[in-house]
Amino acid sequence: MRVLSRISLVAVALATIVGFASVSLSRADEAPAAATGTISGKVVDKDGKAVAGATVQAVKPREAGEAHKKQQAGGHQGPEKIGKSATSAADGTYKLTDIPAGKVNVTARLQGEGFGHIGPIEVTAGQDTKADDIKLEKKMGGGKTP
């Protein structure tokens, strides 16, 4: 009987350890998702009409305007992207996912239509942040749109 009691005690102890380990691992997997949020909004032209097919992305706040100026001058490729990019739908709407909580800018561009940016926007973990419309403006000086 004592042997069975000890085996039962060891089995219970192992089951408890495995249970705690699996709970800890599942919570560790959930932690990164809780540190991100989403941004949704709309891309429009100078007249406020929806723009479909624009590439939209979140970038570090101080880089959006600086990068656009450098691109206009024929310089560097653009600001550092944060999270996933999106393409605006037929009604101009977009949704950016996996955006780290904190302040970001949002940029949009479409060849032939222009470039626009808004921000900084405060992203809250686990929530969808509604952004103001991004208005695309054509590049001045007759050059190609970035």
Question: If we measure between CA atoms, which residue out of 5, 123, 130, 138 comes closest to residue 72?
Answer: 138
What per-residue confidence (pLDDT) applies to 31?
45
What per-residue confidence (pLDDT) applies to 3?
52
User: What's the rounded Cα separation, in Å, for the pair 83 and 62?
Assistant: 16
3-state percent breakdown (helix, strand, coil) of the chain, nearest 5: 30, 40, 35
Q: What is each CA distance from 37 to 8, 119, 126, in whole angstroms?
A: 46, 16, 5
pLDDT higher than 60, residue 41 = yes
Tens digits of per-residue pLDDT, 94-137?
Answer: 999 999 999 999 999 999 889 999 999 999 999 999 999 999 99
What per-residue confidence (pLDDT) applies to 23?
47
Show the tokens assigned to 85: 């990019």
What per-residue confidence (pLDDT) applies to 61?
84
The mean pLDDT value for 24-47 works out to 74
CATH number of 36-135: 2.60.40.1120
